[in-house]
Amino acid sequence: MIPNDYFNKLVRNAAYCTKCNTEVESKHRHDFVMCKCGEIFVDGGLSYVRYGFVDDKTFINRAEYRQPTIEELKYEIAKANNDLAYGLYSKDHTTAVKQKAQELLKDLYGI
C-alpha cells in the first residue's frame, strides 16, 4: 500500500538540537551538517532526508514538506503508465502508485 504522503515534496531539511540550542539545515545533496556540540546531524538537502543523533531526546525534526501540485501528480501517472508499458518495475507497485496519484488528484484538486 502506498502511504498518503508518498508524493509529498521536501522543501526544507532541518533539525534542532536541544542540547546546544542550534538549528541545522542541509541545503543540497550530500550537505552533511552537524550541530555545534556534535549531538545531531542532517544530510541530503532536498534530495533525501538523513539524520542522526546521540540521544533522541536532544533531536527535534524540523523537516518541512508540501503537497504535490496537479502537474506533479499528472507526471507520476504518466510515468506509471510508461513503467507499466515497458515493465520497468513491479506491476503491483506501479499500479498502486498510479492509483494513489489518481486518488490524490481527486481528493486534493477535485480532478
51-78 residue pLDDT tens? 999 999 999 999 999 999 999 999 999 9
Kindly report the pTM of this predicted structure.
Answer: 0.77
Domain-embedded: residue 17? yes
Q: Specify the pLDDT at position 111.
A: 86
**Are 42 and 80 found together in one domain?**
no
Query: Does residue 4 carry a pLDDT above 80?
Result: no
Give the tens place of pLDDT for each residue, 8-53.
999 999 999 999 999 999 999 999 999 999 999 999 999 999 999 9
Let me know whether 53 and 41 are in one domain.
Answer: yes
Given a contact cutoff of 8 angstroms between Cβ atoms, the answer to whether 15 and 22 are in contact is no
Cell of 89: 518495475
Chain mean pLDDT for the chain: 94
Cell numbers representing residue 67 in the block: 503537497
The reply to whether 55 and 75 lie within a common domain is no
Please count the other Cβ atoms lying within 10 Å of the Cβ belonging to residue 8.
Answer: 14
Are the beta carbons of 36 and 20 closer than 8 angstroms? yes
Q: Do both 21 and 36 map to the same domain?
A: yes
Which domain range does residue 37 map to? 9-66
- The answer to whether position 88 is within a domain reads yes
At residue 88, the pLDDT reads 86
Same domain for 76 and 58, yes or no, is: no
